[in-house]
Amino acid sequence: MWLTEPRNAHSPLAGLKVLELARVLAGPFCGQILADLGADVIKVESPEGDGTRQWGPPWVEREDGSREAAYYHACNRGKRSIIADFRDAADLAQVRDLAASADVVIENFKTGSLAKFGLDYPGLSASNERLVYCSITGFGQTGPRAHEAGYDFVVQGMSGFMSLTGEPEGVPVKMGISISDLSTGVWSANAIQAALLMRERTGRGQHIDMALMDCSVGLLANQATYHFASGENPPRMGNAHAQVAPYGVFPTSDGHVILAPANDGLFRKLMRMLGRSDLTEDARFATNGGRTEHATDLDAAIAAESATWTKADLLQACHDHGIPAGPINRLDEVFSDPQVVERGLKVDLGGLASVRSPFTFSEAELALDRPSPMLGEDQPD
């Protein structure tokens, strides 16, 4: 029941066959990335369906009057859906048949739980040695937490994200998106494509072990090296930056803006624009190190000036002078921003709006040809 013709012959992954045994966010988000890139993704759902179909409000109503939660549509565009109960012999046989001719399987069941159905990597690769099999779990296939369920909020705390997010004197704060789930989906899509390239050399697939915890720790980047180099824990900085100043949120007469003059030249430009060139002569602010050390005093001086401007005028002046700056947009402002509109980041498929994967190719195009599937929409007769 794989597609006989690619969804879009001009897409990078045209003809790739992906079987998705995943639900909620990390696994489905990975599957959606591959679907946007042109893969034929068959989503296998339980008779009750992916739980996110019911994670509303808000709800998205289809033309036929049926509806699912908006959350579901964030990570299931471009796929087909079939229903399978793994406890049913006929359903299980159908899933195994699909896996036998698949290029990729994505699954996010608890570690080891698919083995009893023969749907784990050893069980499926025995009849398909070219299979790239990606397991997505909270903590990976090994280690003392391997058999624990993983939840984005918990992993945000465990990975160090929340120790870095929030005001210095406030409580630790999670991010406003499910960053651990979403980043795992992105890392996983990258790993799958790397394994597919390796398969071209070796002729064999392999098992990919992806964990929310690993992927979150992997994003610590400069905060991790701060800790490794200093032996200290990076502090929560709110909107400030531990290594660059001025760099943060500043008031205007009608709102707030972000100012990010991240080097000496940009700092001098900003001071001239604000009429405070005298600050560039202050020994405390002569270098980035000094500005960071005395950031409280410097920020207060800049805030006193920025507060006399309107948001629009300050941002326009920064643009004219080549100073990095921007507004703090609500989502309605994001999707009406001329840059976002020009880049086509909002897509509408069958009356269902979503955000496209942010790839732009010179010699390829995304396969944006169908909305998220209804439950069992592609069930064979």
**Which pLDDT belongs to residue 247?**
94
**Which pLDDT belongs to residue 243?**
85
d(CA 36, CA 18): 12
Contact 239, 169 (CB under 8 A): no
Indicate whether 64 pLDDT > 90: no
Rounded to an integer, the average pLDDT of 40-61 is 95
Dihedral angle of Cα 182, 84, 70, 351, to the nearest 10 degrees: 120
The tokens for 278 are 């005298």
Q: How many angstroms separate the first and last alpha carbons of the chain?
A: 11
Q: In what order do the strands lie in the sheet with 17-21?
A: 80-83, 40-45, 17-21, 104-107, 132-137, 206-211
**For the segment 319-331, what is each residue's pLDDT rounded down to a tens digit?**
999 999 999 999 9
Indicate whether 381 pLDDT > 90: no
Q: Which domains does the chain have, with CATH numbers?
A: 17-219+347-355 (3.40.50.10540), 248-330 (3.30.1540.10)
The tokens for 136 are 């997505």
**Which pLDDT belongs to residue 230?**
96
d(CA 137, CA 228): 27
Residue among 36, 120, 181, 299 flagged as catalytic? 181
d(CA 322, CA 325): 9
Q: Per the confidence metrics, is the pTM higher than 0.85?
A: yes
**For the segment 212-249, what is each residue's pLDDT rounded down to a tens digit?**
999 999 999 999 999 999 999 999 988 888 889 999 99
Rounded to an integer, the average pLDDT of 201-212 is 98
**Which pLDDT belongs to residue 214?**
97
The whole-chain average pLDDT of the chain stands at: 95
Interacting residues of 358 by C-beta distance below 8 A, sequence separation 6+: 345
Q: Which of 126-130, 168-172, 354-358 has the lowest mean pLDDT?
A: 168-172
Residue 251: burial class (beta carbons within 10 Å; 0-12, 13-18, 19+): middle
At 70, the amino acid letter reads A
d(CA 145, CA 8): 41
Q: Establish whether 181 is a catalytic residue.
A: yes
d(CA 135, CA 119): 11
Rounded to an integer, the average pLDDT of 199-204 is 98
**Which pLDDT belongs to residue 65?**
87
Indicate whether 311 pLDDT > 80: yes
**For the segment 344-371, what is each residue's pLDDT rounded down to a tens digit?**
999 999 888 999 999 999 999 999 999 9
Indicate whether 42 pLDDT > 80: yes
State what percent of residues in the chain have pLDDT above 70. 100
Closest CA to 179 of 280, 358, 29: 29
Rounded to an integer, the average pLDDT of 282-294 is 93
**Which pLDDT belongs to residue 241?**
87
Closest CA to 310 of 300, 318, 322: 318
Q: Phi then psi for 214, rounded to 5 degrees?
A: -60, -45
